[in-house]
Structure 1
Amino acid sequence: MCRFIPAILLCLLIFSCDKPRDKIKPTFGPISEFVYASVNIQPDSLYEVFSAVNGILEKEFVVEGDTVEPGQPLLQIINSNPRLNTKNALLAYDLAKKNLSGNSTILSGIKEEIETARLKLNNDSIYFKRQEKLWQQEIGSKVTYEQKKLEYELSKNQLELLQNKYSRTRNELETQLQQAYNNYKNSLIITEDYTITSKINGMVYALYKKKGESVTTIEPIASLGSASVFVIEMLVDEVDIVKLQKGQQCFVVLDAYENEVFKAVIHKIYPKKDQMNQTFKVEARFTDIPPTLYPGLSGEANILIGQKENTLSIPRDYLIEDSKVSTDDGMIKVQVGMENLEMVEILSGITKDTWIYRPSP
């Protein structure tokens, strides 16, 4: 049984086979090259607040959204340990002062030993000098003379030892006094740290604890940052980071402002790579500031890394295998320069008069 192709379908097949491929000539014009980055908005000077000690949150002086200034109280932590530590430090300081004072049993006892040793030395010196004169007159025995001389020298050494002991003990007591004073002052500072204050002019963006909850030294209890200045945190792929430098212009689109583009400038490039996502963090500041900003707003950015005013270029979808174009003379290899999502700069291989064809789908 014969089957016939309908006439209309046959015509469509014939015309589709004969349909010419799209062709164009390269054009001269401006071209720009960009690096893509994801965007997250954060306040400038953002930092998390930690407590210096463990305790219970007793009082909140601020709420989220409040503006604050340096030294302004934020939170009060209650813990009895600091007060006890301060009392103990004060007792140790008072004891160290007493040990160093003139009435101290430690130093006064050594002074009494020195005085006793001085009297003995004086007495031994008299007996020795007397025996020495007698010996010079050949009166008495040599044993007696040497015995008195030995007693005199021993008394002299004993006095020197006690005097050294006094100086050494006094130095030790002075050091202990200074250490006790430092510990006492430090305990006062730690006690003051229980009222946590702001370090900046800014805003309270988050409070992580409520009154009555326990507070530790290893978890943040609040988040503060600038109320008016925001930074653009961008994550850039490691293959693109070497193309960036401070001062380059950025074009930012935020999800909250879908149809608007805001200009910004790179002001900081972090040198450490995030091993988890193989990106580098880059910060930029708005030169064209959105009307309202909140921490955590997201979007994307295109960073301008190069620009030429008059260069030969072709549409990107006419490029084959990143370095070839289809022409009347067949496939030709070209050298490309700048490129973006739409256009590719052609440095050599074809001219403005070369017809190139769009690759077949």
Structure 2
Amino acid sequence: MRIISVVITCLVLISCSKKEDKILPKETHLVESVYSSVTIQPDSLYQVYAIVSGILDQNLVTEGDIIKKDTPILKIINNTPILNTQNAKLALDLALENYSGSTTVLNGLKDDIETATLRYKNDSINFYRQKNLWNQKIGSKVEYDTKKLNFEISANNLKTLKNNYSRTKNELITAFKQAQNNYQTSLINTKDFTIKSKINGKIYALYKEPGEIVTTMEPLASIGSANNFIIELLVDEVDIVRISENQEVIITLDAYNDDVFKGRVSKIYPKKDNRNQTFKIEAIFNKAPKILYPGLSGEANIIIAKKDNVLAIPKTYLIDNNKVKTDEGVITIETGLQNLELIEVRSGITKNTYIYKPEND
């Protein structure tokens, strides 16, 4: 009798457990969202670089300083641009002297042109005089040919000198302008020995100590907004098409335990990061925490849609993503919004239809 009693008890328990797996769909408020990891960064954050190589002479600020735009932050020692500037000034002075000085090449060419012009006029007079005599049958053919040849040589020589003058003048002007540009460029380089901030903000990092070598390829400092922070989110490529600007974002930060903050999507970067197959999204706080630091991490849910009075069932009761087991057998349903636990039922069953949890669950 004891064995029969135990068996009966087990059957009752099994029967009860199966009854517990039967539920009715319920109407509820349903929110669908996209999950993302979160990193906090200052707004307008940028890396500071030098455009000249050298040695860091002095950090003019310290990490954590609040600075204004154009505040000097770093001083670099580099003698090369100074020497280049001096050489560029010498080249500019020489180019200017060659172009407009009292002993320029152009003045010499002018003198040659004046001499050639006088010779051309003289040879022209002699030629036409001899030509008139030759037309009157006076003089010899040799004298006529000689005067004609001298005239033609003088004309060609004058033309060549004038062309040389124009070409030389253009070359000297070009050389002067190039020397002028090189000098201006070298002056710009000398001004970059002291690096200034491009924004009003805060010094978040200094990467070099005085005496260390500075190159144009390595960042020297990190500067960003002191008070305004942005929320960087990484969204999977499967979900990116569902994201749009101004969508609501629910944020939790590890540094603030269970506090929940709200924000909105402010920017969507169109390029995918092929390393992790994600897209970068930026959001801003509706009301930011009182204290924030770069690099704070957390989690976020980007709200895709909200609905009230939605007929929903637990996802665990689904079969093949769009079917449920009922008293009438397995029925196909039309689904809609969903979150981690619930999914909307648009058609196929009603709030009075009992559904059963699949046996393999």
Shorter-chain TM-score tier: over 0.9
Residue 112 of structure 2 aligns with which residue? 113
RMSD between aligned residues: 1.7
Report how far residue 289 of structure 1 moved. Answer: 1.2
For residue 20 of structure 2, what is the aligned residue in structure 1?
21
The CA distance in 2 between the partners of 1:169 and 1:8, in whole Å, is 121
Please name the residue that 1:330 is paired with: 329
In the alignment, the residues of structure 2 paired with residue 183 and residue 48 of structure 1 have an alpha-carbon distance, to the nearest angstrom, of: 28
Q: How many Å apart are 1:210 and its aligned residue?
A: 0.4
| Aligned-partner residue type, residue 203 of structure 1 | K
Aligned to 1:219: 218
Query: How far has the Cα of 1:168 moved from its partner?
Result: 1.3
**Mapping 1:1-361, distance limit 5 Å:** 10=7, 13-19=10-16, 20-360=19-359, 361=361
Matches of 1:18 and 1:123, distance apart in 2:
134
Deviations 1:268-305 (A, max 9, x none): 11111111111110111111211111100000110011
Give 1:22's aligned amino acid.
D
**CA 1:76 to 1:5, structure 2 compared with 1: closer, same or farther past 3 Å?**
farther
2:205 aligned partner, one-letter code: A
**TM-score, with normalisation over the residues of structure 2?**
0.95
How many angstroms apart in 1 are the aligned matches of 2:43 and 2:138? 99
Q: Which amino acid aligns with 2:188?
A: I
Instruction: State the 4+ residue runs in structure 1 displaced beyond 6 angstroms.
Output: 4-8
Contact 1:21 1:357 in 2 (8 A): no
Amino acid across the alignment from 1:188: L
More divergent stretch after superposition (329-338 vs 270-279): 329-338
SS at the partner of 1:203? strand
Letter in 1 for 2:342: M
Query: Secondary structure at the residue paired with 2:331?
Result: strand
- Of 164-173 and 308-317, more deviation after overlay is shown by 308-317
Q: CA deviation at 1:328?
A: 1.1
Deviates more, 1:185-194 or 1:8-17: 8-17
Quote the Cα distance in structure 2 between the aligned partners of 1:332 and 1:8: 38
Structure 2: distance between partners of 1:296 and 1:321: 41
Q: Distance in 2 between matches of 1:9 and 1:42?
A: 64
Distance in 2 of aligned mates of 1:189 and 1:345: 65
What TM-score, normalized to structure 1?
Answer: 0.95
In the alignment, structure 1 segments of 5+ residues that lack a partner are none
CA apart distance, 1:12 = 5.0
1:313 CA displacement = 1.3
Which residue identity is paired with 1:260?
D
CA distance in 1, matches of 2:28, 2:196: 58
Mapped to 2, the partners of 1:11 and 1:53 lie a distance apart of: 89
CA distance in 2, matches of 1:6, 1:37: 56
Q: What displacement does 1:306 show?
A: 1.1
Letter in 2 for 1:272: K
C-alpha offsets along residues 166-187 of structure 1, whole Å, 9 cap, x if unaligned? 1211111011111101101110
Higher deviation after alignment, 319-328 or 31-40: 319-328
Please give the per-residue CA displacement for 1:44-88, whole angstroms capped at 9, x wherever unaligned: 111101111111000111010111222110100001101100000
Taking structure 1 as reference, are residues 23 and 155 closer, same or farther at Cα in structure 2, changes over 3 Å only? same
Aligned letter for 1:250? V
Q: State the distance in 2 between where 1:8 and 1:189 align.
A: 98
Unaligned 5+ runs, structure 2: none
Contact 1:54 1:79 in 2 (8 A): yes
CA distance in 1, matches of 2:94, 2:101: 13
- What is the identity, as a one-letter code, of the residue corresponding to 2:302? I
Q: How many residue pairs align between the two structures?
A: 358
CA distance in 2, matches of 1:313, 1:214: 64
Superposed displacement of residue 8, structure 1: 8.3
CA distance, structure 2, for counterparts of residue 14 and residue 33 of structure 1: 41
Distance 1:6 1:275 in 2: 65
SS at match of 2:20: coil
> What secondary structure, in the 3-state scheme, does the structure 2 residue paired with 1:160 have?
helix
